[in-house]
């Protein structure tokens, strides 16, 4: 997962055709590792599209939505005694 607002991703999005898919990663040191990551990205997208009709479904944490709601309900980002 790239960092939000990454300079390189922004630049490629600006210069690439609107239909282009940009896949970016950090710390991949060999061509084999890059191809493995690309294959994982493609399989995850295909699975997400087939099961949930959403290409990005497998690219997010399954608990992320619940965690966001729970943390938003917490006072100052801390759990109350009843939540512990």
Which tens digit of pLDDT belongs to each residue from 24-50? Answer: 888 889 999 999 989 998 999 999 999
Determine, yes or no, domain membership for 58: yes
- pLDDT at 60 (0 to 100): 79
Determine, yes or no, domain membership for 1: no
Domain ranges, residue 65: 7-83
The number of distinct structural domains making up the chain is 1
Determine, yes or no, domain membership for 19: yes
Token duo for residue 61:
């944490």
Token duo for residue 76:
């100052």
Alpha helix (H) residue ranges in the chain: 7-15, 31-52, 64-73
Token duo for residue 39:
């294959």
Determine, yes or no, domain membership for 2: no
Q: pTM here?
A: 0.58
């Amino acid at each position: 997962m790239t960092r939000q607002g990454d300079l390189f991703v922004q630049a490629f999005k600006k210069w690439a055709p609107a239909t282009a898919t940009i896949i970016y990663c950090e710390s991949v040191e060999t061509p084999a590792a890059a191809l493995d990551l690309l294959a994982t990205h493609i399989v995850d997208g295909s699975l997400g599209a087939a099961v949930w009709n959403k290409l990005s479904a497998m690219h997010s944490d399954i608990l992320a939505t619940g965690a966001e709601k729970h943390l938003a309900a917490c006072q100052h980002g801390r759990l109350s005694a009843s939540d512990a």
